[in-house]
Structures are given as C-alpha cells and as structure tokens.
Amino acid sequence: MVHKPTKVELAAAVGRTVPDVIAPNLKVLFCGINPSVYTAVVTYNFARPGNRFWPTLFAAGFTPRLFKPEEQQELLPLGFGITNVVDRATVAAADLSIAELRKGGKQLVEKVHKYNPQVLALLGISVYQAAFGQKGSGVGLQNLMIGNTQVWVLPNPSGLNAHFPPRRLAEVYRELQNYVG
C-alpha cells in the first residue's frame, strides 16, 4: 500500500520527476499535465487520493480490474503507458508557465516519435491547447497526428474536474477504448 506523504515530504518533492511507464508501440500513451508532489513522493502516477484515473480506466474497459497506482507497470502488457507533458512535479498544474508547457509539448513529440504509440491521449483540453497551440480544441479525436500517432484529448481525471462526473468521464474514455479495441 502507498504510504501517505507528510507535509515535509510533499514540500521536498517540488521539482522532482517520476519515471514514465512506457514501451515501444503501445496502443495508448496516456499523457498527464505533470506529476503532483504527492505522485513524486510515492513515485506512482495518478496516486493522489481523489484522482479518478485508475477507476476511470477500469470503468472504461482499459483494465480487467481496478488497478492501484503501485500496479502501474501492469498497464504495459495491456498496451498502455503513462507520461506527462512536463516532467517536474508541482503543487498545482497552474504553477506551470505556457512556455514550459510548449517546451514540454516539443519534448513529447520527440518521445512519441521514439516510442510510436498508436494514440497519444492528452488528459486535459487546456494542456493540449497550451502544449500544441491548438485553440478551440475539444475532447475526442483530434486532427493533429504526430508521425503515425493519432492524438486524442480526454478530460483531466483530477477529482477537481467537476465538468465530468465519474460516469461521464468513463463514457468519454470508453470512446477511446473502443477506438483502439
């Protein structure tokens, strides 16, 4: 079980990085904005209590059961991985500048060319718009391709995203799951 970080540990985690869960030729490379300090302390993606990533993956049919964050490596045999637009952990995504998001977008393009996933799924409309300069974009399949990789935008699974309650979040993620089969 993941331990609950202390305030001191959380404060010390600002700026840390968390390794990607990645391999060549994945079906979907899920891409968050950046790691939270909570994630940086425990070293598992989407580990913060209240984050709906893992329950949503299960509800949408990506995983055969509800995975715990510490089981993140079990995504790889299923054809799924995790990365972030910006590698450094922050207290809030709002701590990132537009320039940092754009730089992260360029680095993400390089990563996608290297690993060649079928789909790059960006978790958040605003991060996609900022990182790739795609104003007016919405959720779903995008016109943008990176090499042979299709770009897809999904709602951010943060518990703070009130626009998408759990059931609706799962429905939108299921559209991608149906797309990649």
- pLDDT mean values, one per 10 residues, the chain (181 residues): 83 93 98 94 92 96 97 98 96 89 97 98 94 89 96 88 84 97 87
State the pLDDT at residue 2: 63
Q: Which fold has domain 25-180?
A: Uracil-DNA Glycosylase, subunit E (3.40.470)
Question: Cβ contacts of residue 126 below 8 Å, gap of 6+?
Answer: none
pTM for the full model? 0.94
Nearest to 154 by CA among 143, 145, 141: 141
Radius of gyration of the CA atoms of the chain, in A: 15
Question: Cβ contacts of residue 125 below 8 Å, gap of 6+?
Answer: 137, 138, 139, 153, 155
- d(CA 172, CA 108) in angstroms, rounded, equals 23
- d(CA 78, CA 136) in angstroms, rounded, equals 32
Nearest to 8 by CA among 46, 37, 36, 49: 37
Nearest to 78 by CA among 94, 65, 69, 59: 65
Please identify which residue in the block is written with the tokens 């959720």. 139
Characterise 147 by phi-psi region: left (phi > 0), alpha (psi -120 to 50), beta (else).
left
